[in-house]
Amino acid sequence: MSETPSTSVSRPEERCRTEQRALTGFGRTAPTIARVTEVHDASQVLDALRSAGPRGITARGLGRSYGDPAQNAGGHVLDMTGLNRIHSISANPDGSGGSVTLDAGVSLDTLMRTALPFGLWVPVLPGTRQVTIGGAIAADVHGKNHHSSGSFGNHVLAMSLACADGTVRTLTPDGPESELFWATIGGMGLTGIVLRATIALHSTESAYFVVDTDRTENLDELLALLTDGSEDRYSYSAAWFDTTSTGAALGRAVLTRGSLAKVDELPKKLQGQPLRFSAPQLLKFPDVFPSGLANPLTLRAFSELWWRKAPKRQRGSVQNITAFYQTLDVFADWNRVYGRRGFLQYQFIVPLGAEETFRRIVEVIAHSDHASGLNVLKRFGPGNEAPLSFPAPGWTITVDFPIAPGLNELCLKLDEMVLDAGGRHYLAKESRTSAEAIRRGYPRLDEWRKTRDAADPEGVFTSDLARRLELVAP
């Protein structure tokens, strides 16, 4: 797609702003310096690949991974957010969904808003919409509806990948390059740079959900609700749970489950514009917070409030996606609340049947000196065939810890418990585990490495994450 030619005489390379910058993930930890170039079209990406130096190249989207996959110490980082055009979108006439072809730098937020007027819904939306298509593919993001719709990669019909040799390959899930396709899904950007993708979309009558809420007194009650068969009635399900309460109240939770609303399920006043979406931004946090604001005391207070404010039992409440599960998108830059020391997010999965381990992990966290406010628990459905994809049938927990002394020891203990139970960690959230933990958690890692190394023998594509976890040979 060519841009409207500008009337000034600026040369294309001048539009590619490059600067030396410190980069971090969303946890604002482990900064490293890289040369960051903003790219706006595919040819600029290929130019950058041609001139890749010894420290390689990393693509970066909106920087919502918590650790270091989108930074490259001493190397080159391409800011892909300027590659952001939606090329085509169409809904099937029979209401069976549709598809969209778009650049890798488009955000899920933009895609969702663009798709709604067509009666189309993004099939997988993670906890924030501030994620690019490329990022969603690289992390194989999952959402509250994983048990019914799988992860993002399940819905990618095709993608164009810029490879290390300067070629652009079109990959499909079951075509001749399907191995490279599935290595790219969840591949954390290490197989190449996604330029464009075609994504399948679902049909929807409205931008709202019909939601049932249950507040449980403890973890056992929550697990019971998640295993009594009621999960199958909802396409979206996830729980917030308390990591500060102990004893009989261990893991008390608020479980919110729902499905996209049909027009006749909406209250009269919304039926006129069922596909309308408005997500106000209440507040953009300034960078003034001291470290230590989020500590066990304040988090215990927050957890108490959050649990109490939920209804014990509510049925059929109509909510938009922000209220239903992307609550934090209302606060821009909320990660600043953790102060300069930053925080880390710990997300793992343990397989079905490992509920005892799961319970012990919640106990260990609750009894530690580290508290977390933003805790999510979900039961995953079947995984896909991508070797580095994180979701698999089982239980996933996500917790946030402010960086504080002793945190590493706690995480090491949790690592052992997760791995011993046959679980693994999510690379998009991960920021401090070991290469060994990834080897143990992802049995198909070697298979992935072979595909990756075949596509990129010189190691052009790398990142701090890749170096730290030994995903790419140095």
Partner 1 sequence: MIDAVGNPQSILLLGGTSDIGLATVERFASDRPMRVILAGRPGPRLDAAKARLEQRRCTVQLLDFDARKPDTHADVIAKAFADGDVDVTILAFGVLGDAEQAWTDSDLAIELAEVNYVAPVACGVALARQLKAQGHGALAVLSSVAGERVRRSNFVYGSTKAGMDGFFSGLTEALRPSGVHVTIVRPGFVKSKMTEGMQAAPLSVTPEQVAEITVDAVRKHKELVWAPAPMRAVMSVLRHVPRPIFRRLPL
Q: Which residues bind partner 1 (CB under 8 A)?
A: 20, 22, 27, 29-34, 55, 67-68, 72-75, 342, 344, 403, 407-409, 411-412, 431-432, 434, 464, 467-468, 474
**Residue 73: CB minimum distance to partner 1, A:** 3
Rounded CA-CA distance 373/399 in Å is 7
Comparison of 251 and 342: residue with beta carbon closer to partner 1: 342
Comparison of 182 and 338: residue with beta carbon closer to partner 1: 338
Comparison of 187 and 459: residue with beta carbon closer to partner 1: 459
**Residue 413: CB minimum distance to partner 1, A:** 12
Comparison of 214 and 415: residue with beta carbon closer to partner 1: 415
**Residue 233: CB minimum distance to partner 1, A:** 39
**Residue 77: CB minimum distance to partner 1, A:** 10
**Residue 71: CB minimum distance to partner 1, A:** 9
Comparison of 23 and 250: residue with beta carbon closer to partner 1: 23
**Residue 66: CB minimum distance to partner 1, A:** 8
Look-up: residue for tokens 């490279």? 180
Comparison of 107 and 345: residue with beta carbon closer to partner 1: 345
| Residue 233 burial (CB count, 10 A) | 11
Comparison of 36 and 193: residue with beta carbon closer to partner 1: 36
Comparison of 41 and 430: residue with beta carbon closer to partner 1: 430
The values of phi and psi at residue 206, to 5°, are -150, 170
**Residue 373: CB minimum distance to partner 1, A:** 18
**Residue 88: CB minimum distance to partner 1, A:** 39
